[in-house]
Amino acid sequence: MNSQTKATNLQGGALQKNTNVSKPVSMASKKKWKDAGLFTLFVGPVLLAFTIIVLIPFFTGIYYAFTDWNGVTGNINWVGFDNFKYLFTEDKQFQASFLLTAKYTVVAIILTNVIGFALAILVTQMLKTRNILRTVFFMPNLIGGLLLGFIWQFIFVKGFASIGQITGIPLFEMAWLGDAKTAFWGIVIVSVWQGAGYIMIIYIAALQNVPQEIVEAARIDGANRWQILRHITIPMVAPAVTICLFLTTASSFKIFDANLSLTNGGPFKSTEMLALNIYTEAFVNNRYGIGEAKALIFFIVVAAITVIQVMYTKKKEVES
C-alpha cells in the first residue's frame, strides 16, 4: 500500500508540474496574439491605405512605363524598352528639361540653405522683434505653390512694370517672365522665398542646441564671429545641414506648382522643368506610357542623388 501511495503521489506531482508549465506557455502565447492584434489594429489601416495609395500605383506605373498606353483607352501593348530608347535618342525636350532641372536644383539648394541659415542666425540674436521676424519669414511657406506663383506672376508682370515706369531702374523694366534667362531666375526667386523660411526653422532648432559655454570660451580665447561660426557653430549644426540638404534636394527636383503657375514652361518651353514635362507628356499629349517612363527615370535619379547626399553628409558629420 505504501508503495502504491508513493507512486500515486509522484504521478500527481508530475501532472501538477506539467499543468504549471503549460500555464505560462499559454499565457505567453495569448500575450503574443494580443500584441499582434493591437499592432494590426493600429498599423493595419495605415498600411492598407499606404498600399492602395502609394505601392499599387507605383508598381502599376512601372508596368505602364514599358507599354504604349495613352491613358484613356483599354488598349495596352507591351513595348519593352522602346519608350526609354525614345527618351534618350529622340526626345530632346526631355533632355533639355532634365538639364534645366539639374541646374535649377543646384542653384535652389545653395540659395535656400544659405538664406535660411542666415535668417536663422538673425532671429536667434537678442532682438526684440525676433519672434515677429520668425513669423514673417515663415509665412510664405504657408501659402500654396500655385497661389504663390500667380501672386508673383502679377508682381513680375504688373508690379515690376509699374515700378520701372516710375523709377526708370532697368531691373524692373525687364520682361522677367518673357525671357528664358530672367524667367528661370524668377522661378528661383519664388521658390527660395517660399522655402527659406521652412529651412530657417530647422536651423533655429539646431542653433539653439549649440552649447553657449563653448562659444563663450572661444570668445575669451580671442576668436571672432567668423571663427566661431566656422569652427564651432557649423560643425555642431551638421545634422541639421544633412536634413536641410535632403529636403531642398527632393523639393527642388520635384518643383511643379511654381513652374506651372509662373511660366507654364514658357517662353517656348525654355523653362519647362522635368515634373512639368512629365505632366504634359502624360496628361496633355496623352502618352501615358512615355510619361511613366520619364517618371521612372526621374525617380531613380532623385533616389540615387538623395541617398548619395545623405551618406556623404553623414560621413562628414562623423569626421567633424
**Per-residue model confidence as pLDDT tens digits over 238-274:** 899 999 999 999 899 999 999 999 999 988 899 999 9
DSSP letter string, 21-49: HHHHHHHHHHHHHHHHHHHHHHHHHHHHH
- Domain for residue 19, yes or no? no
pLDDT value at residue 222: 87
Q: How far is CA 75 from the centre of its chain?
A: 35
- Domain for residue 24, yes or no? no
Which bin fits 80, alpha (ψ -120 to 50), beta or left (φ > 0)?
left
pLDDT value at residue 116: 95
Dihedral of the CA atoms 164, 170, 176, 182 (nearest 10)? Answer: -160
pLDDT value at residue 91: 92
Length in residues, the chain: 320
pLDDT value at residue 154: 92
Asked if 269 contacts 180 with a C-beta cutoff of 8 angstroms, the reply is no
CATH assignment of the domain containing 247: 1.10.3720.10
Query: Structural domain of residue 98, as residue ranges?
Result: 84-319
pLDDT value at residue 223: 86
> CA 23, CA 144: separation in Å to the nearest integer?
60
Contacts 24+ apart (CB under 8 A), 299-307: 301/253, 302/249, 302/250, 302/253, 302/254, 305/249, 305/253, 306/246, 306/249, 306/250
- Domain for residue 56, yes or no? no
- Domain for residue 148, yes or no? yes
> CA 315, CA 116: separation in Å to the nearest integer?
23
pLDDT value at residue 21: 47
- Domain for residue 250, yes or no? yes
> CA 106, CA 17: separation in Å to the nearest integer?
72
- Residue numbers in the chain where pLDDT is lower than 70: 1-26, 317-320
pLDDT value at residue 153: 92
Taking CA atoms, 31 is separated from 15, 23, 200, in Å, by 25, 12, 46
Instruction: Reduce the DSSP state of residue 221 to 3 states and report it.
Output: coil
Taking CA atoms, 217 is separated from 205, 212, 223, 228, 235, in Å, by 22, 8, 9, 10, 16
Exposure string for 228-250, b = 16+ CB within 10 A, e = fewer: beeebbeebbbebbbbbbebbbe
pLDDT value at residue 34: 78
CA angle, residues 89, 109, 252, in degrees to nearest 5: 50
From the list 171, 203, 205, the residue with the least C-alpha distance to 189 is: 171
Supply the DSSP symbol for 125.
Answer: S
- Domain for residue 290, yes or no? yes
Instruction: Reduce the DSSP state of residue 78 to 3 states and report it.
Output: strand
pTM, two decimals, is 0.83
- Domain for residue 158, yes or no? yes
Number of domains the chain is built from = 1
Supply the DSSP symbol for 66.
Answer: T
Q: How far is CA 230 from the centre of its chain?
A: 27
- Domain for residue 27, yes or no? no
From the list 184, 24, 178, the residue with the least C-alpha distance to 96 is: 184
- List residues bridging with 67 in a β-sheet: 78
